[in-house]
Amino acid sequence: MHFVVLVAAAMSLVALDASRAATSLDGFLAGVDMACAANRDFKAFSESLNARYNESGNRAAPLAMSKEMAALLGTIHTEKKDEYVEVSGLQFAFGIENGIYVYSIVFNEPAAKVHKVFDKAIAAGNKKLKREVEAGAATGIKAENGETQLYCDWSN
């Protein structure tokens, strides 16, 4: 299953045994490469990040993640950009009252390798998004500033 490659590549973000981390992240990230499908745990985590870290967020709000997931993801860093707040690790960008909502998985692999693994799933996912989701939702790979990201863009 090509998803293990996704997890192994993403694991360069944390200092933990890669096989243990890959097993733990498989369920959490399952489906992200297929039309940006996110499971209940991933959605809850994303919503809790937004509630805590967005410009109008409550810094005391709890994050929806297990202790194991917290250990895998490590310290969460945020940076306010012009129009959004970026949360590092698994990157999330929550718009500041403008509809931006993007998340991505950052790889320490060359873009060509990430494309080789995910291009078919991304093409199928984008067809599904066009059929079933509001216009503008998209998934893809972008490479810039030395990073390669598999992204899901739900901005409206």
**Do residues 51 and 61 make contact, with C-beta atoms less than 8 angstroms apart?**
yes
**Do residues 45 and 55 make contact, with C-beta atoms less than 8 angstroms apart?**
no
What is the predicted pLDDT for the residue at 60? 93
Q: Enter the tokens of residue 143.
A: 């490479």
- Side-chain half-sphere of 49: how many Cα atoms within 13 Å? 29
What is the predicted pLDDT for the residue at 135? 65
CA atoms of 47 and 41, how far apart (whole Å):
10
Q: If the chain, 156 residues long, is cut into consecutive pieces of 10 residues, what is the mean pLDDT of each piece?
A: 29 38 66 83 87 87 86 78 76 79 81 88 88 77 86 82
Nearest to 155, CA basis, from 138, 131, 143 = 138
CA atoms of 49 and 40, how far apart (whole Å):
14
Residues 6+ apart with CB under 8 A from 41: 27, 28, 64, 65, 69
Full-model pTM:
0.69
What is the predicted pLDDT for the residue at 61? 92
What is the predicted pLDDT for the residue at 7? 33
